């Protein structure tokens, strides 16, 4: 499921994120990282704030500057404006990925595949698209934020300011990221299963008998 989820993420990330906004966020994050790196380098040259060897200090400053840049990227909006057809009074309908799938759809995005019932075909097709949009948007926002924290932790570890057990957080975040990508793959599996079903034919409404006129 991870491989399928990653393929879905790469294929549809531009459907959720605005390339112009992503480029703007990348420019600002790069600027913030350079400013942070230059500031730390000047401070290191004046007061030796790292208190360690030159190689370790350079590695730590680069990691901390990377964290500043990624934090800046995560704070700048990169989503596309919502489609007017999916809004009510300008607000996105079911914006949270956790609320995007109704109970009937949640049944089909579990780890064990369940055959999609014909009567749930349209619901699953609609909800999995909303779920995909929410998951991609959430990953695009939290991945830079979590990576910024991981960079800061590793940088602090290089300087000897962070105990080793805190690096377990990096592993826990990696597992959580893998689970979200796998969830994206399971939603795509459910969508494809629903797409393979034939729509239920509409039954005509019974004719109302006409009353005889006197």
What is the distance between the alpha carbons of residues 94 and 33, in angstroms, rounded to a whole number?
A: 35
* Of 28-32, 65-69, 85-89, 122-126, minimum mean pLDDT range: 85-89
**Gyration radius of the chain's alpha carbons:** 25
What pLDDT score does 59 carry?
A: 94
List pLDDT tens digits, range 130-183.
888 888 988 988 899 989 998 999 999 898 887 877 778 888 888 888 999 999
| Token pair belonging to 77 | 């909006």
Domain coordinates in residue numbering, the chain? 2-195
CB 8 within 8 A of CB 132: yes
What is the distance between the alpha carbons of residues 50 and 56, in angstroms, rounded to a whole number?
A: 9
List pLDDT tens digits, range 36-72.
999 999 999 999 898 888 999 999 999 999 999 999 9
What is the distance between the alpha carbons of residues 118 and 66, in angstroms, rounded to a whole number?
A: 49
Name every residue whose Cβ is closer than 8 Å to that of residue 127 and which is 6 or more positions away in sequence.
100, 101, 102, 104, 105
How is residue 84 annotated by DSSP?
G
What is the distance between the alpha carbons of residues 97 and 138, in angstroms, rounded to a whole number?
A: 8
How is residue 78 annotated by DSSP?
-
Q: Of all residues in the chain, what percent carry a pLDDT higher than 90?
A: 41
By C-alpha distance, which of 35, 56, 66, 55 is closest to 161? 56
Element (H, E) at 87: strand 87-88
What is the distance between the alpha carbons of residues 94 and 103, in angstroms, rounded to a whole number?
A: 14
What pLDDT score does 88 carry?
A: 46
């Amino acid at each position: 499921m991870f491989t399928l989820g990653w393929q879905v993420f790469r294929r549809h990330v531009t459907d959720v994120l605005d390339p112009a906004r992503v480029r703007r966020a990348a420019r600002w994050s790069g600027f913030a990282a350079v400013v942070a790196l230059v500031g730390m380098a000047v401070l290191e040259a004046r007061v030796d704030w790292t208190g360690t060897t030159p190689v370790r200090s350079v590695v730590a400053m680069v990691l901390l500057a990377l964290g500043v840049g990624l934090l800046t990227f995560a704070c700048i909006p990169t989503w596309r404006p919502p489609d007017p057809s999916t809004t009510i009074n300008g607000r996105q309908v079911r914006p949270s990925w956790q609320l995007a799938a109704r109970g009937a759809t949640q049944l089909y995005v579990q780890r064990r595949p369940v055959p999609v019932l014909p009567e749930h075909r349209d619901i699953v097709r609609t909800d999995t698209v909303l779920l995909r949009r929410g998951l991609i948007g959430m990953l695009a926002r939290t991945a830079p934020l979590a990576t910024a924290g991981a960079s800061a932790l590793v940088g602090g570890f290089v300087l000897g300011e962070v105990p080793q057990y805190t690096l377990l957080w990096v592993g826990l975040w990696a597992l959580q990221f893998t689970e979200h990508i796998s969830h994206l793959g399971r939603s795509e599996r459910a969508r494809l299963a629903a797409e393979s079903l034939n729509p239920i034919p509409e039954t005509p409404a019974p004719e109302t008998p006409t009353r005889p006129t006197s």
